[in-house]
Structure 1
Amino acid sequence: MGKVTGFKEFERQDESYKPVEDRVKDYKEFTQPLSEEEITKQGSRCMDCGIPFCHSGCPLGNLIPDFNHMVHQGEWQKASWLLHSTNNFPEFTGRLCPAPCEQSCVLGIIEDPVSIENIEKNIVERAFKEGWIKPQPPKTRTGKTIAVVGSGPAGLAAAQQLNRAGHTVTVFERDDEVGGLLRYGIPNFKLEKGIIDRRIKILEAEGITFKTNVNVGVNYDVKDLKAFDSIVLCGGATERRSLPTPGIDADGVVQAMDFLTQQTKVVFGKEVKDQVLATDKNVIVIGGGDTGSDCIGTSNRHGAKSVVNFEIMPKPPGHRSPTTPWPFWPLQLKTSSSHKEGVERNWLINTKEFVKDESGKLTALKTVNVEWKMVPGQRPQLIEIEGTEKTWPCDLALLALGFTGPESTLADKLGINKDARSNYKAEYGKYQTNIPNIFAAGDMRRGQSLIVWAISEGREAARQVDLYLMGKSNLPSKDVTGDLVAM
């Protein structure tokens, strides 16, 4: 694969970024792509490693050594075909995925791993530029109708696969535009929305119907949903986590997703009443994940007076922790492009109170430093450190604490069983709920997870629906180990 000695000859090169002072002036993507010659070199770094682990690290089972080799040879169209054979939307994953494939790259044991994610992004962008990605409607229709609820990556993947099988697919989305969290939950500077729109045009040309502003169970009767031959629930895990902390009701304590959604709508000229702005405010973002990072980047673009980040967990090590050896996903400090734009990061800190004035407006946060006590056989215990109390000036606190699971509305109205974590209960690999013709996939089934898992589950659920309806399926699938078993 690649050039036999490529990993010795070429060092890893990543895309560069526009200078911070320039990129925080707008909400456009700010990566500066490598040249075609350099991308070819990056593909040449892929080793003939005998047993590659990269595609096992990827839930999609992407044929990574194969498309790297095609890039090395300059066979970009073949690389695109290989990439799309397992991944419906590499333009999304090539921008947003945390790249577990790179963390399980064999070369990564001794050197910087192959830049798989960036190669993937360049392949799909070349494919769109050259016109290789075209609508591929099915030649015949089965007469079966399928409703897909939710138009995030899981729903879109399920819809495209089922449409390819010849079924008539309708996708329901409760927002005003298609995309789920890709549309409004991911800032435009990480994913410009035209990237979503061009793919949706392909899906529509293939015969998929999209209906927006349709909230099934609220303004669309579930009785009408039951008229479809099968239903695939891909509504995501959208119940936001809060804090049982005094003062949480203060004016100025805002859920991160509301903050991000408002800004994306404003970027596209949509009306937003009483937009929450970070301009000239002391902002504290509570939560150290990707959503917290997105809030930091957005606050800096608003022109915040200061941006501080709280994380209750310990600061991860700068390099892979021995507790997460290769090829597992590493416990390791992540510094995003938004972090580099300006933020004070704090670990092992717990918010004790949101302080508000007489009018109810947030003015400060009271915190205490903590430590985690590990007791064998027991859950970790959070211990407050006496004498570390502190008051932080704060005009805007953004809660980026993740999600507790899917909303229960559909489950309650359709009679779907839920598991102990409130997810819609459907066995992994089968995706079938307790109601035979209703399936669930993505975060709604597994809880908050990665975009690659969402696309993978959408694809796999589609095959199970096809099997249920037709008794057989020509759609590709993977076994439980992640290996492709049918193409």
Structure 2
Amino acid sequence: MGKATGFLEYQRADQKKRPVKERIKDWDELKIPHPEEELKIQGARCMNCGVPFCHGGILLAGMAAGCPVHNLIPEWNELVYQGRWEEAYKRLVRTNPFPEFTARVCPAPCEGSCTEGHIMEPVAINSLEYAIIEKAFEEGWVKVKKAKSTGKKIAVVGSGPSGLSAAYYLNSVGHQVTVYERADRAGGLLMYGIPSMKLQKDVVERRLTLLSESGIQFVMNTEIGKNFKAQRLIDEYDAVVLCGGATKARGIEVEGNDLKGIHYAVDFLKANTKSLLDSGLQDGAYISAKDKDVIIIGGGDTGTDCVGTSIRHGCKSVVQFEIMPKPPEHRQDVKNPWPEWPVKVKVDYGQEEAISLYGKDPRNYCLSTKRIVGNDKGEVTEVHTVEVIWDKNAQGRLVPKEITGSEKIWKADLVLLAMGFLGPEDQIPAELKLERDARSNIKAEYDVFETNVDKVFSAGDMRRGQSLVVWAIQEGKLAAKAVDKYLTGKSVIR
């Protein structure tokens, strides 16, 4: 370890965010980089454990424990402490092709499994990753990668994190890769699903430029299964990798769900980012929350992003409904032991902003939506809710039960549904007759990634269901390895 007593001497220091009153006036990045000396101190806190759970990348209790891409975290922590930044960068990209994305949007399951975090605050791994990759870009260490051509052609469908990862690794071993994307810009979720204040789009474009310069071709405005037959890809390419995501949004089955002013969160966020990039929101081609009472049904990162976006529009008020109970303030060691992901309440940037502006956390827990009411123009005006408690049914499963007399009416001009996703869309699976699992995802075994159709592979959310960006990157890498082995008999992708 870089400093044997570092974990005893130094306290954790997270990256600071720009002041709320400043940042809600723009769409610029939230975080402020650490000074270099502070980063060395944070690197010194790493204990260099004999068994480093931080890069385990396994599922415990259905949640990620440790880094899914198996980052060599203790190694680059020590190198940062020693000021050996270029070596730290080389260690970082041995396992993660896009650390500039994960450093900004990953919830850091590595930190949840940090040994030091078992008894103290975990190492600030996310902040160190951010610093390493940004210094690498500043110093010119991030280079275009090219390899001798194998003559094999591969189509990747979808340019989100799994598609870009698959393309990156397949290109790195010499295959000719073409990425098909239905949107007008590449990046998928990274471009249009995550707001600019969390992931600046010039950061995404910076990586896309490198991928293009390395030889990867991007074909935009092309929706496979609609205006371009999926079978044509099979006929024209040596292999096809489906990375279209789990983009079928979950709706809400209550009276009034068809009123004007009710939108899926993904549509709200995508339209905002596209308008922002196209015209700085001057074209009006987005769903505005300005001067509106906004209700967000659902939580998680998407709900938080809707809060932050609504505030930047200038909403009158914003509240969130979550049907689940409020998480505990601290990890419950019996029910949720280390190194599982710690299930505890956190105040993210959107909630911070709402608290600062309106004086309270926008989240309301154990709340079920009963119906949505509108006016004679068919516009939403109210959301009716009831409180619930979670109790075991006859089968021993926890289910929500309504509390009599707890009904409440909420004023609403805009309702955003942030309730997750049901799986991939149907066009490609239907055309190719792909087998699907019980959750409607494309059926392809992990570490194999091949579907029931010859030459066709699948990875990311399209295969595993809605998940983390870091899981999508790892799946793209492993799918690339499987395709490379399928085409050449072996693979050097590691």
TM-score, normalised with respect to structure 2: 0.95
5+ residue gaps, structure 2, are 57-65, 355-360
8 Å CA contact 1:284, 1:397 repeated in 2: yes
- Residues of 1 paired with 2:286 and 2:167: CA distance? 34
The equivalent residue for 1:261 is 270
State the one-letter code of the partner of 2:117: G
State the one-letter code of the partner of 2:25: K
Go from structure 1 to structure 2 and tell me whether the alpha carbon gap of 1:214 and 1:272 turns closer, same or farther (over 3 Å shift): farther
Percentage of matched positions with identical amino acids: 52
8 Å CA contact 1:356, 1:364 repeated in 2: yes
The equivalent residue for 2:412 is 394
- Residues of 2 paired with 1:277 and 1:39: CA distance? 40
- Residues of 2 paired with 1:401 and 1:450: CA distance? 16
8 Å CA contact 2:171, 2:215 repeated in 1: yes
State the one-letter code of the partner of 2:40: T
Residue of 295, 314, 319 corresponding to 2:330: 319
5+ residue gaps, structure 1, are 477-487
State the one-letter code of the partner of 1:23: R
Residue of 251, 269, 275 corresponding to 2:286: 275
* Matched pairs, number: 475
Residue of 406, 410, 414 corresponding to 2:428: 410
Confirm whether residue 206 of structure 1 aligns to residue 224 of structure 2: no
Go from structure 1 to structure 2 and tell me whether the alpha carbon gap of 1:376 and 1:386 turns closer, same or farther (over 3 Å shift): closer
Residue of 447, 455, 473 corresponding to 2:473: 455
Residue of 162, 182, 192 corresponding to 2:170: 162
Give secondary structure in 2 for the equivalent of 1:231. Answer: strand
Deviations 1:179-214 (A, max 9, x none): 001101100000000001111111111111111101
With 275-284 and 117-126 compared, the bigger mean Cα shift is at 275-284
Deviations 1:444-481 (A, max 9, x none): 000000011000000000000000000011110xxxxx
- Residues of 1 paired with 2:70 and 2:410: CA distance? 46
- Residues of 2 paired with 1:68 and 1:294: CA distance? 30
Q: Write out aligned runs for 1:442-481 (5 A).
A: 442-476=460-494
Confirm whether residue 172 of structure 1 aligns to residue 183 of structure 2: no
State the one-letter code of the partner of 2:188: G
Residue of 350, 360, 367 corresponding to 1:349: 367
- Residues of 1 paired with 2:222 and 2:307: CA distance? 32
The equivalent residue for 1:480 is none
Confirm whether residue 296 of structure 1 aligns to residue 342 of structure 2: no
Give secondary structure in 2 for the equivalent of 1:299. Answer: helix
- Residues of 1 paired with 2:405 and 2:260: CA distance? 29
Confirm whether residue 370 of structure 1 aligns to residue 398 of structure 2: no
The equivalent residue for 2:457 is 439
Q: Write out aligned runs for 1:23-42 (5 A).
A: 23-42=23-42
Residue of 217, 220, 233 corresponding to 2:225: 217
8 Å CA contact 1:265, 1:272 repeated in 2: no
Residue of 213, 225, 234 corresponding to 2:243: 234
Deviations 1:352-371 (A, max 9, x none): 11110111111111000001
8 Å CA contact 2:275, 2:284 repeated in 1: no
With 272-281 and 206-215 compared, the bigger mean Cα shift is at 272-281
- Residues of 2 paired with 1:96 and 1:273: CA distance? 27
Confirm whether residue 137 of structure 1 aligns to residue 149 of structure 2: no
- Residues of 1 paired with 2:105 and 2:85: CA distance? 22
Go from structure 1 to structure 2 and tell me whether the alpha carbon gap of 1:273 and 1:305 turns closer, same or farther (over 3 Å shift): closer
Shift of 1:90: 0.2
- Residues of 2 paired with 1:402 and 1:379: CA distance? 21
State the one-letter code of the partner of 2:19: P
8 Å CA contact 1:256, 1:399 repeated in 2: yes
State the one-letter code of the partner of 1:340: E
Go from structure 1 to structure 2 and tell me whether the alpha carbon gap of 1:376 and 1:130 turns closer, same or farther (over 3 Å shift): farther
Confirm whether residue 336 of structure 1 aligns to residue 348 of structure 2: yes
- Residues of 2 paired with 1:405 and 1:38: CA distance? 43
The equivalent residue for 1:150 is 158
The equivalent residue for 1:108 is 117
Shift of 1:436: 2.6
- Residues of 1 paired with 2:88 and 2:365: CA distance? 42
- Residues of 2 paired with 1:296 and 1:418: CA distance? 34
State the one-letter code of the partner of 1:261: K
The equivalent residue for 2:22 is 22
The equivalent residue for 2:448 is 430
* Superposed CA RMSD: 1.1
Q: Write out aligned runs for 1:117-128 (5 A).
A: 117-128=126-137
Deviations 1:238-291 (A, max 9, x none): 000001100001111111111111111121125866531111111111111100
